[in-house]
């Protein structure tokens, strides 16, 4: 690759920070003198990146959240563009609202752009594909159908496998006999926790009335204060624990109630049967309904092409009905095993690639 002075990387969310850390480690291992800086979190920092901007400081969600935080985001964007001006390469990781503007800036400055973990434009933003084609030099995609999707749109893309599988971010699934509780995963952002956790707690209360022996454990997001979980759980009748390690909470669960997003895929790869629950503000939901073009909100269902985990969304997220489905999962052993077999097939599909080692090679090709 020659003498590389600087790579700017932007990972604006917890999941992006987790996945980008493997890439940072691969780049540092390949070129010990490389300087990687930008936006990320503690995972990227541990891997060797200089994190100027912590993703947790920008953990907003929805259209209204972005509007209220606009001045802060404007300052962030200006600072990152200044870094890009003296960079050799920009690596954008998911987070399209900001990253596509950074890609356009890098393109204007003649800085090559590698996009790792593609924006889900196939779900909600096909109008952005033309922009991606103009401003992104190469894409490393992590979902099996994305390579063909982007190539049809004349975007250079390569499927590298999903980091949860190929970069070994998740442990092997536990046997059913070692599973101890019901997991509650209300999302990774504070706004999600405030909106979704009360629904999950009501569903847990309804489930406990039928199964008093069950334990319930919340998977705490690293970017949400424990005090918020305590504040919300204090309004219920208690009996719910708070776990610090989301993967451990999911991996030791007999079943899970999960907000749509990365955690649905984590649950599937850990072979934990689940329901998908999601609520947001009426305004955010109204706008999302106008944009989203796919029939499912849970990533595990998107990948399966059908609803293998029942979805309870917005007004349909009724605690009693969620509890009914959880009872069915717990009691229907043949149905549960069929679901787990679907999860295993999904793992095999997502493991077909070389992960961050290949992404590092793509970076080298752009810098050659």
pLDDT tens-digit map of 37-61:
999 999 999 999 999 999 988 866 4
Q: Residue 149: how many CA atoms within 13 Å on its side-chain side?
A: 18
Q: What gap in Å lies between CA 78 and CA 11, rounded to an integer?
A: 16
Contact 274, 264 (CB under 8 A): yes
**What pLDDT is recorded for position 236?**
79
Average pLDDT over residues 180-192: 93
* Confidence (pLDDT) at 68: 63
Can you tell me which residue has the tokens 């999903």? 162
Domain(s) labelled CATH 3.40.50.2000 in the chain stretch across 7-161+353-367, 176-350
> What pLDDT sits at residue 260?
81
Percent of the chain with pLDDT over 90: 74
Q: Are 301 and 265 in contact (CB under 8 A)?
A: no
The alpha carbons of the chain give a radius of gyration, in whole angstroms, of 21
279-309 per-position pLDDT tens digit:
876 666 555 555 555 567 788 998 998 999 9
DSSP lists the bridge partners of residue 113 as 90
Most confident option among 54-58, 121-125, 221-225, 272-276: 272-276
The residue whose two tokens read 């953990």 is 59
State the CB neighbour count (10 A cutoff) for residue 225: 12
Beta bridge partners of residue 91, listed in sequence order? 9, 114
Higher per-residue pLDDT: 114 or 32: 114
Q: Which fold has domain 176-350?
A: Rossmann fold (3.40.50)
Q: What is the pLDDT of residue 270?
A: 97
Distance of CA 81 to the CA centre of its chain: 25
Q: Which region holds residue 313: left if phi is over 0, alpha if psi is between -120 and 50, else beta?
A: beta
Please tell me the distance from the alpha carbon of residue 183 to that of residue 177, in angstroms, as a whole number: 16
Helix H or strand E encompassing 201: helix 190-210
Q: Residue 17's closest CA among 34, 177, 1, 47?
A: 47
Residue 237 has pLDDT above 90, yes or no: no
Instruction: Give the predicted TM-score (pTM) of the model.
Output: 0.88
What is the pLDDT, as a whole number, of residue 283?
61
> Class assignment of domain 7-161+353-367?
alpha beta
């Amino acid at each position: 690759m020659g003498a590389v002075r600087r790579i700017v990387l932007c990972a604006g969310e917890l999941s992006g920070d987790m996945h980008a850390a493997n890439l940072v480690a691969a780049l540092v291992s390949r070129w010990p003198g490389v300087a990687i800086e930008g936006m990320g979190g503690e995972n990227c920092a541990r891997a060797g990146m200089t994190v100027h901007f912590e993703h947790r400081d920008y953990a907003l969600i929805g259209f209204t959240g972005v509007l209220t935080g606009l001045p802060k985001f404007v300052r962030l964007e200006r600072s990152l563009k200044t870094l890009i001006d003296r960079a050799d390469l920009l690596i954008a990781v998911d987070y399209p609202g900001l990253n596509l503007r950074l890609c356009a800036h890098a393109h204007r400055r003649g800085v090559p752009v590698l996009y790792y973990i593609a924006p889900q434009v196939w779900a909600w933003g096909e109008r952005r594909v033309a922009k991606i084609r103009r401003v992104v030099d190469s894409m490393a995609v992590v979902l099996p159908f994305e390579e063909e999707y982007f190539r049809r749109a004349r975007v250079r893309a390569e499927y590298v496998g999903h980091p949860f599988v190929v970069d070994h971010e998740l442990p092997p699934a536990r046997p059913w006999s070692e599973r101890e509780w019901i997991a509650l995963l209300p999302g990774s952002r504070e706004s999600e926790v405030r909106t979704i956790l009360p629904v999950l707690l009501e569903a847990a209360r309804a489930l406990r009335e039928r199964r008093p022996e069950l334990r319930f454990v919340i998977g705490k997001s690293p970017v949400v204060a424990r005090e918020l979980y305590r504040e919300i759980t204090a309004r219920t009748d208690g009996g719910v624990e708070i776990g610090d390690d989301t993967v451990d909470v999911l991996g030791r669960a007999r079943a899970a109630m999960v907000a749509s997003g990365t955690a649905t895929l984590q649950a599937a790869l850990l072979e934990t049967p689940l329901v998908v629950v999601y609520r947001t503000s009426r305004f955010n939901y109204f706008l999302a309904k106008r944009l989203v073009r796919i029939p499912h909100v849970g990533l595990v269902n998107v990948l399966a092409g059908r609803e293998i985990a029942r979805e309870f969304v917005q007004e349909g997220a009724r605690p009693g009905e969620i509890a009914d489905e959880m009872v069915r999962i717990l009691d229907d052993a043949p149905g549960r095993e069929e679901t787990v077999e679907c999860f295993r097939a999904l793992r095999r599909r997502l493991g077909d690639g070389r992960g961050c080692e290949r992404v590092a090679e793509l970076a080298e090709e752009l810098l050659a």
